[in-house]
Structure formats: structure tokens, C-alpha cells
Amino acid sequence: MKIEDKVAVVTGAASGIGKAVAQSLVSRGARAVAMADLTDSVHKWTEELNKEAGRTVATAFQGDVSNTEFRQHVFTETAKIGIPRICVPAAGILRDAMAVKIDKETGKSELYSEDLFRLVLEVNLMHPAYWSMQMMAGIAEHRLTENLGKWSSEEEIQGVAVIIGSVSSRGNRGQVSYSSAKSGLGAVAKTLNAEGAYYGIQTKIIHPGFVETPMIGQLPDGMFEQQLRQLVPIDRMIKPEEIASTIVHMVENPIISGPIWADGGMPPMT
């Protein structure tokens, strides 16, 4: 699907992959990009992007991506410009801890927090699923008003959602909640891709490795250099712009349907 003149919604847009994706979409001629993020820095970055583009193309939305009302507000307001046909729900969080800890003094065990597990699932699993579904709903409603039935290959692809997975979807120590969420996204992408085909909508998933983002910045000092770098054959962290470039290609290329592993050649973690 051509990006030029399309309307897009990107979450986690104030930093990392989301920020790089928004910039890439603008550079390829997107008509408008809704940039959603929890932090107020999304306003500053939106202003900078508009200045760089020389036109008003990006709009900032500050709020919790796991909140239903916020999601609906973003899509409703954005649809006033044009129906969102690109969705990249890139927001995510880490709340890493071992599944079971033993207090050596008392001998008692402590399980991973249920509240944190639910929070990680809300942000990393449900949010990408529902933002992608919200885009699908808007396109489906529009096709109904235009008396359009099942999509035909004679038409252009009507919409593309690209979900951000992770190499941790294969399981990783200390990431019982994060790995579970990212693993579940594979099923979300396959299901929405199958259901969305009726409307000409594709849902795809990319699994990045260690990307130089604020999230990776939460790792203990020196952990990447001392323990993790040796696992990455390209011998460095991946740049957000490299992931964004791949995502843009996934949007533009209709034959890409399976997961993309953008991990720099890193083998499964154990």
C-alpha cells in the first residue's frame, strides 16, 4: 500500500521505534500522522516534526494507550482528516522480574506480581490488538457507507497494521509477563490478518532484537556490553531507524504476511 496521502496512527510516538516510524511515514508523504504517547514530550516532538516537514502533518495526543476512551478519541479526531489506514501501535513497557523468588532467610517464595502481569498484558498485548482493531473498524464502516462489499485484488490494499513483537516472544528469563504478551501478539496478527482480508486490511508483526530505545535503557548499567552484546552477530544495538525502515517496507509491500525477525541475527535466548 502506498504511504503517500495516507493517514496513520502511531503509539509510543515520543521516542524509540514509534518516533522513528512517525518520521519515516512523514518523509514518505503521509497526509497526517496521529502521534500518541503517555509522556508530554509527544507535543515537543510533534512540533519538531511539523517544522522539519514544512507543513502541519503530525498531531499530538497525550494519554494512556490502554485506555479505551483515549483510543477512541484519537481515532475519532484523526478521522476528521481522513480514515486512518496505517496503524503502528509501538508503545510498550518492561516490568521484568523472576517468576518465583525465594527469600533465603525465611525460605518463603514470592511470585511475580499479578498486578504487574496484568499491566504488562494491557500495554503490550491488548493495546496493539485493540488499536489495530480500531483501524479495521473505521475502514469496515467506511466501506459499508460506500456500498463496497468484499475487497477485491483490483483495489489497493485498504489498510495495514504493523504490530511490534520481540525476540522475547520465544521466552526469556526474568520476562514472564513481557514474553507472554509478545508471544500472544503473533496470534493477534494472524487472526486480524485473516479477518481483515475481507476488507482488504493486512496485519503484520515484526520482532526486533535489542533496539537502542529508552526501554532498553532500563537494563542495569553495563548489562548489554558485558552480557548481551556477544549474542548479537552484528555486534551492536539496532537503531530505531532501522526498525522503522523495515516497518515502512512492510506497509508498502503487500506480499509480506509472516513475521519479520529484525534481531541482527541473534539466536533464541534461553
Torsion of CA 114, 115, 117, 123, to 10 degrees: 160
Residue 218 falls inside a structural domain = yes
Written as nine digits, the cell of 63 is 494519554
CATH code: domain of residue 184? 3.40.50.720
Show the domain range for 17: 7-93+123-262
Written as nine digits, the cell of 20 is 522513528
DSSP bridge pairs for 202? 160
18 backbone dihedrals φ, ψ, rounded to 5°: -60, -45
Cα 133 from chain centroid? 13
DSSP bridge pairs for 238? 211
Residue 102 falls inside a structural domain = no
Residue 239 falls inside a structural domain = yes
Q: Which residues contact 202 (CB under 8 A, 6 or more apart)?
A: 1, 157, 159, 160, 161, 193, 196, 254, 257
Residue 48 falls inside a structural domain = yes
pLDDT at 217 exceeding the cut of 70: no
pLDDT at 140: 98
User: Per residue in 71-116, pLDDT tens?
Assistant: 999 999 999 999 999 999 999 999 999 999 999 999 999 999 999 9
Residue 110 falls inside a structural domain = no
Please, which pLDDT band fits residue 230 given cuts at 50, 70 and 90?
A: low
pLDDT at 270 exceeding the cut of 50: no
Q: Kindly report each contact of residues 149-152 with a partner whose C-beta sits within 8 Å and lies 24 or more positions away, as own/partner.
A: 150/198, 151/197, 151/198, 151/199, 151/200
Q: Which residues contact 181 (CB under 8 A, 6 or more apart)?
A: 120, 121, 123, 124, 125
User: Per residue in 155-206, pLDDT tens?
Assistant: 999 999 999 999 999 988 899 999 999 999 999 999 999 999 999 999 999 9
User: What's the rounded Cα separation, in Å, for the pair 13 and 100?
Assistant: 34
Beta strands 159-164 and 109-111: pairing type?
unpaired
Between 213 and 259, residue with greater pLDDT? 259
Residue 101 falls inside a structural domain = no
Domain count, the chain: 1
